[in-house]
């Protein structure tokens, strides 16, 4: 996830627990770019991602006495940011989903119909296809693809086994290939 050594972070965690504000600042400087990038993967909005990461750091300071120095503070922060992102997305999607359902379209129908729209580049089609993946598959795939995380890191974050992470990613890519094939057939691009 980033380049600070585990020992460095461990010693920062202990200092933060003892209310060492300077260690806390160092930890912020160390983690902020990575955590923000991570949050952007979920939120796709930089200012929102920054807000969420800052919230997480406020909470870290408030709960500093409860820091478990036996566990990785880095993973703790990633997990907190992930939870806050998912909550935010869930709150938001309640509105979106209900309006989508009102139109009585299944998601895949919408996706395929949209392909006829010329203004869509292949990139934005891929974006829609990824968005149409089941939530967990999408998350595992995006963390792997955009964050460059390995299966163990994703497994720890999503609280599932590395095997399941792998299954999610394979399923996601298989589904994306299906969409892509349909798209190529419709636009009569020959399969190489």
Partner 1 sequence: MNKKQNGTAPEHIINEFDEELRNEMNEIWLLAGSTAPDVQDISPIEVENGLNALNTRLEISGDYIPAGDKIAGWIQNYSRVLVAAVALITLTTFFIFVPRTAVVPYGEMATLDLPDGSFIEMNSGSTVRYSRFYRFINRTIELNGEAFFTVADHGHPFIVKANGVSVEVTGTRFNVQSWADDPAGETIVSVEKGGVLFYPIEKRDQMVTLTAGESSRWNPQQLQPTAPETSNVEDATAWREFRFVFRNQALGSILRDLERRFNITIELEAHGVENSPLTAYYSQQVQLESVLDDICTVKGLRYTRTTTGYRIYRQVD
Q: Using CB under 8 A as the criterion, which residues of the chain lie in contact with partner 1 when the complex forms? A: 19, 21-22, 25, 28-29, 32-33, 36-37, 40-41, 44, 46, 50, 53-54, 57-58, 61-62, 122-124, 126-127, 130, 141, 144-146, 148, 150-151, 166, 169-170, 173, 176-177, 180
Q: Cβ closer to partner 1: 99 or 171?
A: 171
Closest separation in Å from C-beta 1 to partner 1 = 12
CB of residue 105 to partner 1, shortest distance in Å: 22
- Residue 149 CB partners (closer than 8 Å, separation 6+): 1, 143, 157
Closer Cβ to partner 1, 83 or 124, answer by number: 124
Cβ proximity to partner 1, 37 vs 156, nearer residue: 37
Mapped onto helix, strand or coil, the DSSP state of residue 3 is coil
DSSP codes joined into one string, 26-94: HHHHHHHHHHHHHHHHHH--HHHHHHHHHHHHHHHHHTGGG--TTS-HHHHHHHHHHHHHHHHHHHHHH
Q: Closer to partner 1 at the Cβ: 62 or 99? A: 62
Minimum distance, C-beta of residue 136 to partner 1, in the bound complex (Å): 16
Instruction: Write b or e for each residue in 62-94: b if 16 or more Cβ atoms lie within 10 A of its Cβ, otherwise e.
Output: eebeebeeeebbbebbbbbbbebbeebeeeeee
Helices and strands counted in the chain (H then E): 9, 0
Nearer to partner 1, 21 or 98 (CB): 21
* Cβ-contact 142, 135 below 8 angstroms: no
The secondary structure of residue 190, as a DSSP letter, is: P
Closest distance to partner 1 from the beta carbon of 90 (Å): 19
Q: How far is the CB of 124 from partner 1 (least distance, A)?
A: 8
Q: Give me the least distance between CB of 185 and partner 1, in Å please.
A: 14
Q: Which is nearer to partner 1, 12 or 144 (CB)?
A: 144
């Amino acid at each position: 996830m980033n380049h600070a050594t585990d020992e460095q972070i461990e010693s920062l965690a202990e200092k933060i627990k003892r209310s060492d504000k300077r260690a806390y600042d160092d930890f912020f400087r160390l983690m902020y770019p990575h955590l923000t990038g991570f949050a952007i993967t979920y939120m796709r909005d930089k200012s929102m991602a920054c807000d969420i990461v800052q919230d997480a750091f406020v909470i870290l300071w408030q709960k500093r006495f409860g820091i478990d120095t036996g566990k990785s503070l880095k993973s703790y922060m990633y997990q907190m940011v992930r939870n806050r992102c998912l909550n935010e997305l869930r709150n938001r999607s309640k509105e979106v989903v209900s309006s989508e359902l009102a139109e009585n379209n299944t998601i895949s129908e919408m996706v395929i119909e949209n392909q006829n729209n010329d203004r869509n580049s292949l990139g934005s089609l891929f974006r829609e296809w990824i968005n149409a993946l089941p939530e967990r598959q999408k998350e595992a795939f995006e963390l792997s693809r955009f964050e460059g995380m390995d299966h163990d890191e994703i497994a720890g974050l999503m609280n599932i086994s590395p095997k399941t992470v792998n299954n999610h990613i394979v399923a996601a890519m298989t589904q994306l290939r299906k969409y892509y094939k349909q798209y190529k057939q419709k636009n009569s691009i020959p399969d190489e």
